[in-house]
Amino acid sequence: MIKKLLPIIGGISDTSKMPCLSYNLDAKLCNVGGKLSTVKGSVCEDCYAKKGFYTFPVVKGAMENKRKALQSIRQWTEAFVELLTKSKAKDDRYFRWHDSGDLQSARHLKAIIEIAERVPQRKFWLPTREYDLVRGITFPENLIVRVSYPMVGQAYRLSDWSHTSSVGAHEGFHCPAYTQGGKCVTCRECWNPDVVNVDYTLH
């Protein structure tokens, strides 16, 4: 049954770093990220999702499948709810949105919120730089939306949001992945609503 759902959502990600399943999109589709990629000193200037593994034809093909699947957002939402309800892969208490890529539209965000509401047994983490899309939105308790600082080393508080993330700012909880072979291992702080800011090492 789960295999039948995968083509409807365009596929799922099973990255070596994540303790759980995740979902990604082509970083070239990022709106704000695309603009930041041309800004010196931004977190997107040397985007990891535009090089290495992400440039392989099979990966690029999978990303295209996901882009097409999003065009049928109602079907995409229903399939995701069913998959996340039934799947027992890895740590099935958690899920990460966008290990690459970002929100595509308000409709896309609305679908992700609905999925979280209909799959309350999972904790969802959504990192985003689409500031205008998430501003003023009330999210379900099991969906932690972390608004990412645009510049490396940026440490001031983005007061419009409850949860943020930074790169090289040395503020808040420091992600331990770089000391753990690039993996989360037992850490789940990105999903923790009590952690205001997660700071990542530049890579």
What confidence category does residue 6 fall into, taking pLDDT thresholds of 50, 70 and 90? very high
What confidence score (pLDDT) does residue 16 get?
Answer: 86
Q: How far is Cα 39 from Cα 45, in angstroms, rounded to an integer? A: 6
Q: What percent of the chain has pLDDT over 70?
A: 96
pLDDT (tens digit per residue) in 108-126: 999 999 999 999 999 999 9
Q: How far is Cα 115 from Cα 94, in angstroms, rounded to an integer? A: 13
Q: Model pTM greater than 0.85? A: yes
